[in-house]
Every structure is written in C-alpha cells, then in structure tokens.
Amino acid sequence: MRHLALSLLVGFVLAIAPPAQGQIGFRQLTSTHPVAIQVGTEREIRVRSNFTLDGAYQVFFDRPGITMTYAETEPKAAPRRGRASPGTPFKFKVSVPKDQVPGVYEFRVATRKAVSSVGQLLVTDLPVVEEKSGQNGSPREGQKVTIPVAICGTCDPAEDVDFYLFEGRKGQRITMQVYAQRVTDRLHNMVVRGPSIYLMDPILTLYGPTGAVVAQNDNFFGGDSLIHIELPQSGVYALEVRDARYAGNPRYTYCVEITDQPHCLLTYPMAVRKGERRDVEPVGFGFPQGTNLVLDGTERDAGWHWDRITTGDGTPTNPIWFRVSEFDELVENPDNDDIATAMVLEQLPVGVSGRLEKPEDVDFYAFNATKGAYYRIETEAARYRAAVDTVLEIYNADGKLLASTDDIAFSKDSRLYWQAPADGKYFVAVRDLHGRTGPRMLYHLVVQPTGPDFEMRGEYYYAFLAPGTRMIWFARITRLAGFTGPVEIGIEGLPKGVRMVPTRIPAGMNHCSIILEADKDAPVNASLVRIFGKAVVKKPDGTEEEIKRYGIVTCEQQSSGGGQARYPINTQIVGVTEPLDLKAVVASPEEIVLHPGEKAEIAVRIERNEGFTAPVTLDVQFKYFSSVLGDQLPPGVRLGSGSQLRLAGDQLEGKVVLECASNALPVERLPIAVIARVPITFSITTNYASNPIYLTVKPKKQ
C-alpha cells in the first residue's frame, strides 16, 4: 500500500521497471494455491509474490490457530516483469488444528528484508482436492470427485472452463458455492487486463445426467456464486466453473465446496443478549421443517462473532455471523409498515432483528428523543452476509423527513449520528434501496443515545524499518456527535526494539503523523499491531468517560490505468529488517517555533548504504501525484517555495521550507518528520522518516 515511512508505499503502477539492485520494497503477494485447506490437516501450498520471499521467518494470521512455515530450501529470485505479472510461487507448509473455525483467513509474511501485503487462505470442513493438470474443459473431460468435497482450481488461461463430475441421486439436496472473490479481494495486485477485468467473476452451472442445464447462479455472496438444488434424477452431474466474462489468469484461484449437508447462511433473529440463550430460525438450505438453532451468549463477549452454532440437540452447523449484545434484543413486529403502526422502542439502547417480507416493505420504529441529544442509529446486515441494501430515514410525528442515509464506507449498511431538534417522538424507517424481499433480506437495527465520538482511518497498513532508523504512518479522524477535543494516539503490539514517538491530534486538527523508531540493536522481528485513539468525552448523562477507538484498516489495491482502490482488512504489521537503502535521515533543527506569516528552514541530510545511488525525494506530506493521502502539518502551515526536495546520485543534503499563514492553527510541540521516499516502481516507494521535529505555532497577535 502506499504506506509509509520506512515502510512502503504501494501506489498504483502506470509503468513498471524492475527495481535497481539494492532498492528494497515490500512483498506483494498475488495468489495462494491451493487456496483451501481442511481442518485438522497439513499440506503444502504455493504463495506467489512479485518480490522474493527468501528469508521468510514468520507468517501471521488474523486469528490464532493456523501455523505456516516457509518450505523453500534454496534461494529463489522473483523478478518483477510488469504490473500484470502473476508473481513467482514460493512453497509453504500449512497446518490447521482440528478445532479451527472454517472461514477465510488473512495472512502476512515477514522476511528479513521486508514484510508483505495480505494473502488469503480458506479453511474448510470438507476434504480438499486439487484440480488435476490437463484438460477438464467439457463434461466428457471433467474431473471426477466424490462429495462432500472442496475443489481447489485456477481459472487460467483466458476462456478457461473447468468441469467436475459427481454422482447424485434423485431427491438429494446439494449445496455448491465457489470462493473466488472472497479469497482474492484483499490482494494488492489483481490487475489482469483492461479497465473492467479485475477480480474473477465466477459463475456456476450444473448440468444433469441428460446434459441439460438444471441450475445456474452468477452472483450470491457479492460476485461469488451459490447453487442449492434438489437433484431431479439419479446419475452423473457436471458442475461447470468459469469466469462470467471468460477472463483467466494464474491469480484466479478458487475453491468450490460441494456438500449434501444442511447449510446455514443466517439466523432470525440475528442477535442474543449477553448472558442469555435464545432459539432462532435457520436461514439457509437443507434444514428439516421446524428446525431450531440456538444462539448462546452466555460465554461470549459483546460484538459480532463468526462461529458455529448448534441445533437444539447440540449438532453444530457451519460457521455464521451472529451478534451478542449488551442491551435488550427485540424482534420486529411485522405490522409496522407506517408511522401509525410503528413498533415502539420503549427503552434505549436497544437492538431489533427485522426482515423485509414483501416487495417495497418499509419497517417503522418509534422512540422518544431529548432536544439536543445525539443518537447513533445503525443497520448491521450486508457486512454479515445479509442481502439487504438498507436505507435509514428519520421522521417527526408529522411525517416530515428529517434525515436519511444510505451506505457507510465499504458496505451497503447504513449509519446516522443524529441530533434531536426538540423533545418528542421520532420514527426510524428501514427499507431496501431497491424494494426487494427474500429469505436473506434480514437486518439488525441498533438505536442508542450517544455522546461525542470519533472514527479513525489513515495510512497505516504495514511498515518495516532497519535498526536505528525511523518510519512514519498517518492517521486521520472523523469527529462525530459534536466531538471537538484532542485524541491521544497509540499502538498495541509493536515488535521488540520498536517504539512510537508520543503524539496526539489536538483540538482543531483531524490528522497527525505517527513516527516509529527502531533501537540500534533491535533484532530482526515482526508483529501484528493495532493503532488506536483515546479521548475523554462527556456521556449523555453528563459524566466523563475515556473512549478508545481502533483504527479502521484498509489495503490499497492496484487497478488499471494507475487508479487506486481501497478495501477493508483486519491486519496491520510492523517489521524490523536487515539494513535497507538508507541508513539515516537527519533533520535539524529539532524544535521550530513559527509565528503567523513566518517561514522556517529544515536542513535534511540522508546517509545512503553502500552501492545505493537512486534518487530520493523529500516531503512533509504523503502524496500520490497531487493527492494528499497523509498529512501531519497543522492547518495554515504548508511546504514552501525554496525547498530542495530531490537528492540524486551522490547528493546527500536537501532543504524543507515551512510557511505559516496568518490564520494557522496554534499548536504546541506537535511532532512531525521529513519523509525520504525511495522509488521502487513508477509509483511504489519505500518511505523513510527523519528524527522527530517538534513544531510550535504561536497564536496570531490580537
């Protein structure tokens, strides 16, 4: 990702040339094959990368249990041949415990030279079979499998079609689902060709014993397909797997699960109160009529969980999403189609499980609000595999629309922070954007009073730094519900020998830099970390409390034409490496005081490692072309004319000029750093940081 200092900067590649000898960039993982492994087994997999994974010493997963070790025995180069290169395969040995919860897992590789972008691996309950080499492009040539099975294949080259044959009997209920986008959607480099050929767009088609099409599905879980069918006759069935556009690429790895066991997608209701148990209705396939499942909140923390649940007799299901709540959980009254019949929410906070049962259905909920108070109103649905695209609306007692919202970032769910204009009764309406209905049109609604709050995002996907050097990340906050105070920034889980320069986002600012430093004797090591912000706010009852919010992490994905895309992920990683291209970036003075209208010069000197002569660019903002992705300067302070930012060949010294406007925000000893960027490709850089510079901006004289 274009991530920061001593880290990396994965920008999008318009033109790619191999890095010069010695220039060090992050490890871009491009595919995993086979992309699935059965619980309780071990196997060898191949992870492709656009840079060598030599020296890989640890693999981190976003949830505990799985172990994965580097299995190459000889050094192996990974020349980068262009943006659409599928990368070089590297062998790893993976072991999954018997009690591992199936699902898609993120992993990150740490090498002695750098850390990696995200890879993905599916853990499945079913026996794993790999697609055999050779032709399987027609029913006659199809590969024979025995269900239940998880088939790992690759849709390559373009126009590739894969067929798998299995015996079925009349009346047998079969569920088939393909994991394609769900096991590649977090990869940095998935460009295949053209502006619209990116992730695989799988389509499943089932042919019966007579050769006729008996079922087909294109999109079910996003772009991934699912078919559930009661087989019409006994005989050999042929399942066809292909890209809907007939695209193909070595990175188009997939897994098709085929099973005749009941398959749960969701439950209704979707939530249970902490400490309680409740019977729920399965939403899925193959369950006998009248089957009840059990949501158990007696030994779980509050929040959303991905785990197995059980039937009434204790039989476990496949894993699903369900919520454990800290407050009362209600079930929608189905006769709540307008303000007059709105379901009354007597006490807040409260959660409600609802479903849209007829076309153009709208569900109304009434609650009492206090003038000036803030309320957080949110639907939780699409993030947890429901099909609904919710729209939230708030009305007053006269039926006047006061507020509405559709999608939150990276999701079709909805969220409002709303301030009541007067005491009284108000109404929340929930509907689907397209007026749809169906078994998966479920949602969970939360209505709760809230005090001042914030969310945090930024450029902090991953980073690596050598002993004695520094890197920089950038955070930004969105202030919510009237929050105006400062936010203290911190990081949990830093690797041995790494520390963070203490920093805060002051009142009046919404961003900051995060400077990490490695001790001179720091050992090579890495760890997954979590960035957070803390602030003291007033609760709705007037008392103060400290809130802690973890940063929302996104990865950057390379797209065609030099564009960029973002996708939410679970992990952040920091690694200490062997020496890199720059040994030091030193800036002086270390204290700067600016008055409105003044300028300040920062002298910068870099120290190159032997043999490294590539250009280095200095800056104080994290930019992609003219777009500022990460900022650290207070409003009113900017990079000024007279700066000397390009250090080429044997040049070691540059200059950064800061200019202070008359209306600049006053700050006191705000830590900033000069960034030194080393290009790896056209737009990918490794970023280094100087020592912290403490910036003070004085108030304008009255």
Average pLDDT over the chain reads: 92
Render pLDDT for 340-367 as a digit per residue (tens, 0 to 9). 999 999 999 999 999 999 999 999 999 9
Q: Which residue has the higher pLDDT, 565 or 387?
A: 387
3-class secondary-structure state, position 139:
helix
Return phi, psi of residue 227, to 5°: -125, 130
**pLDDT higher than 90, residue 322:** yes
Average pLDDT over residues 693-701: 93
> Residues 663, 595: contact at Cβ < 8 Å?
no
Return phi, psi of residue 346, to 5°: -70, -35
Helix (H) or strand (E) holding 237: strand 235-243
Render pLDDT for 213-271 as a digit per residue (tens, 0 to 9). 999 999 999 999 999 999 999 999 999 999 999 999 999 999 999 999 999 999 999 99
Q: Give the span between the Cα atoms of 255 and 120, in whole angstroms.
A: 12
Structure confidence at residue 198 as a pLDDT band (50, 70, 90): confident
Render pLDDT for 559-591 as a digit per residue (tens, 0 to 9). 665 566 788 999 999 999 999 999 999 999 999
Structure confidence at residue 2 as a pLDDT band (50, 70, 90): very low
Average pLDDT over residues 96-122: 97
pLDDT of residue 20: 42
> Residues 454, 486: contact at Cβ < 8 Å?
no
> Residues 688, 6: contact at Cβ < 8 Å?
yes
Percent of the chain exceeding pLDDT 90 equals 84
Strands 667-672 and 693-697: antiparallel
Q: Give the span between the Cα atoms of 207 and 139, in whole angstroms.
A: 9
Render pLDDT for 496-509 as a digit per residue (tens, 0 to 9). 999 999 999 999 99
Structure confidence at residue 381 as a pLDDT band (50, 70, 90): very high
Average pLDDT over residues 23-29: 84
pLDDT of residue 296: 96
Average pLDDT over residues 122-126: 98
pLDDT of residue 4: 36
**pLDDT higher than 70, residue 19:** no
Using the structure block, give the residue that is written with the tokens 């030099």.
Answer: 562
Question: Half-sphere exposure (CA, 13 Å, Cβ side) for 215?
Answer: 21
Structure tokens at 439: 């078994």
Structure confidence at residue 9 as a pLDDT band (50, 70, 90): very low
Categorise residue 597: left if φ over 0, alpha if ψ from -120 to 50, beta otherwise.
Answer: left
Render pLDDT for 607-663 as a digit per residue (tens, 0 to 9). 999 989 899 999 999 987 778 889 999 999 999 999 999 999 889 999 999 999 999
Strand order through the sheet with 202-207: 143-144, 161-168, 235-243, 202-207, 213-217
Q: Give the span between the Cα atoms of 557 and 118, in whole angstroms.
A: 11
Percent of the chain exceeding pLDDT 70 equals 94
**pLDDT higher than 70, residue 7:** no
Structure confidence at residue 540 as a pLDDT band (50, 70, 90): confident
3-class secondary-structure state, position 493:
coil
Strand order through the sheet with 310-311: 263-268, 277-285, 293-296, 310-311
**pLDDT higher than 80, residue 3:** no
Average pLDDT over residues 599-610: 96
Render pLDDT for 52-63 as a digit per residue (tens, 0 to 9). 999 999 999 999
Tell me how many degrees the CA angle 486-491-494 measures, rounded to the nearest 5.
160
Structure confidence at residue 189 as a pLDDT band (50, 70, 90): confident
Q: Give the span between the Cα atoms of 115 and 108, in whole angstroms.
A: 7
Strands 343-344 and 362-369: parallel
Give the 3-state secondary structure of 251-303.
Answer: CCEEEEEEECCCEEEEEECCEEECCCEEEEEEEEECCCCCCCEEEECCCCCCE
Average pLDDT over residues 61-85: 89
Question: What's this model's pTM, rounded to 2 decimal places?
Answer: 0.94
pLDDT of residue 561: 58
**pLDDT higher than 50, residue 13:** no
**pLDDT higher than 60, residue 195:** no
**pLDDT higher than 70, residue 204:** yes
Average pLDDT over residues 462-467: 95
Sorted by where each starts, the structural domains of the chain and their CATH numbers stand as 29-113 (2.60.40), 128-259 (2.60.120.380), 264-325 (no CATH), 461-697 (no CATH)
Average pLDDT over residues 287-311: 95
Report the candidate in 402, 373, 378, 382 with the shortest Cα–Cα distance to residue 392.
378
pLDDT of residue 700: 83
Q: How far is CA 484 from CA 7, 454, 473, 667, 696, in A?
A: 31, 9, 23, 15, 20
**pLDDT higher than 50, residue 10:** no
pLDDT of residue 611: 86
| Residue length of the chain | 702
Lowest mean pLDDT among 131-135, 386-390, 599-603: 131-135
Q: How far is CA 424 from CA 329, 337, 417, 558, 678, in A?
A: 23, 21, 17, 50, 59
Structure confidence at residue 108 as a pLDDT band (50, 70, 90): very high
pLDDT of residue 75: 94
pLDDT of residue 124: 98
pLDDT of residue 240: 98
Question: Half-sphere exposure (CA, 13 Å, Cβ side) for 216?
Answer: 9
